[in-house]
Amino acid sequence: MKDSEMLSFIQGLPKTELHLHIEGTFEPELMFKIAKRNNLEIKYADVEELKRAYSFNNLQEFLDIYYAGASVLIEEQDFYDLTWAYLTKVHEENVKHVEIFFDPQTHTDRNVSFEYVLNGIYKALEDGQKQLGISFKLIMSFLRHLDEASAFKTLEQALPYKDKIIAVGLDSSELGNPPSKFKNVFKKALDEGFLTVAHAGEEGPSEYIREALDLLKVGRIDHGNRCLDDIDLVKRLAKEQMPLTLCPLSNLELKVIKDLKEYPLLKMMEHNLLVTINSDDPAYFGGYMNENFWGITKALNLSKSQIAELAKNGFKASWLSPNEKQTYLKEIDLYLLNN
Ligand SMILES: [Zn+2]
């Protein structure tokens, strides 16, 4: 099959995104524009120099640049513009529903108000729903390199906004920061009615995935690649149909894998794992949803029905209502039939 035919199949497929850090959608052009507006310096001379710095050997090298970039976000309008830029981008890629992360501590630790961050992001999401037809849920992530006391403080700040935040998550430097470090704050979040998710098994061991399931009671595992080291865990994840939000280009850029050809996606699908495709931090990792789908399609020689299956998994793994899910699943079946 011709590349162009597959690309247009991917383009037209209705998609959802479940693993996306809004701060990771900060494109260099917008970063310079907002820095200028806020009279802040960026340590790179121009957009080109900044783009050249986007080459990483591991998660930590990426995080260092990611936090430097996020530091120019100050006003509510900045968070609105960041989120709106993401939504218009994925709208072009036929993404219908997003469940995105934001990291309040990245901003509140710089004395930016929690309210500005939340309101800016949320207003853009509401406008995206109205103007672009993209439905959404918002997930607040705790930074795991910070301590649990800081996560508790963040949870307190979020309590007045329970109607706007559906879940809490856990991200940032994984190794040495196991889910068990946050078991008390997740317990409190669950008691307050939040759903829970956590990054686990990206760089960290499969044991972290077990901890996320057993101690944090997560409804999805973000990444989860390392489950393959533990066959009993794989069986459990398959049996529970626990979603894994995979991020192929992110894994490639951060050297979790050397080549997309070794991406264990087919093996995971053979094990009947509920795997979904996502972009993680697309401004930094070379691509949004379609680029991720295209990357694995090309590397693993996926068929149209396998690609459609992955798109369906995204809707199944989402927090849409059963009726909404059915509508999208039928739409994808019909799309596959006609394309
Ligand atoms: Zn992530």
3-state helix/strand/coil string of 35-47: HHHCCCCCCCCCH
Distance from Cα 15 to the centre of ligand 1, integer Å = 18
Kindly state the helix (H) or strand (E) to which residue 170 belongs, with its residue range.
Answer: strand 167-171
Burial class (CB in 10 A: 0-12, 13-18, 19+), 268: buried
Could you identify the residue written with the tokens 């996926």? 302
- pTM of this structure: 0.96
Distance from Cα 94 to the centre of ligand 1, integer Å = 21
DSSP bridge pairs for 17: 98
Distance from Cα 200 to the centre of ligand 1, integer Å = 10
Distance CA 40, CA 52 (A): 21
The one-letter amino acid code at 133 reads G
**CA-CA-CA-CA dihedral for 33, 37, 40, 41, to nearest 10:** 30
**CA-CA-CA-CA dihedral for 39, 43, 46, 48, to nearest 10:** -140
The one-letter amino acid code at 275 reads V
Burial string for 92-131 (b: 16+ CB within 10 Å, else e) reads ebebbbbbbbbbbbbbbeeebebebbbbbbbbbbeebeee
CB 233 within 8 A of CB 200: no
Distance from Cα 5 to the centre of ligand 1, integer Å = 30
Handedness of CA 296, 221, 197, 313 (dihedral sign): positive
Q: Maximum distance among all alpha carbons in the chain?
A: 54
Low-confidence ranges of the chain (pLDDT < 70): none
Q: What are phi and psi of 130, to 5 degrees?
A: -70, -45
Question: Catalytic residue among 23, 99, 202, 203, which?
Answer: 202
Exposure of 292 in the CB half-sphere (CA atoms within 13 A): 32
Distance from Cα 114 to the centre of ligand 1, integer Å = 21
Distance from Cα 1 to the centre of ligand 1, integer Å = 32
Distance from Cα 278 to the centre of ligand 1, integer Å = 9
Distance from Cα 280 to the centre of ligand 1, integer Å = 5
End-to-end CA distance of the chain, in Å?
13
Distance from Cα 20 to the centre of ligand 1, integer Å = 6
**Cα 44 from chain centre:** 26
Handedness of CA 163, 168, 171, 177 (dihedral sign): positive
Question: Catalytic annotation on 29?
Answer: no
**What pLDDT score does 171 carry?**
96
Q: In order of start, what are the domains of the chain with their CATH numbers?
A: 3-333 (3.20.20.140)
> Percent of the chain beyond pLDDT 90?
88
Distance from Cα 153 to the centre of ligand 1, integer Å = 22
* DSSP-derived secondary structure for 80-98: HHHHHHHHHHHHHTTEEEE
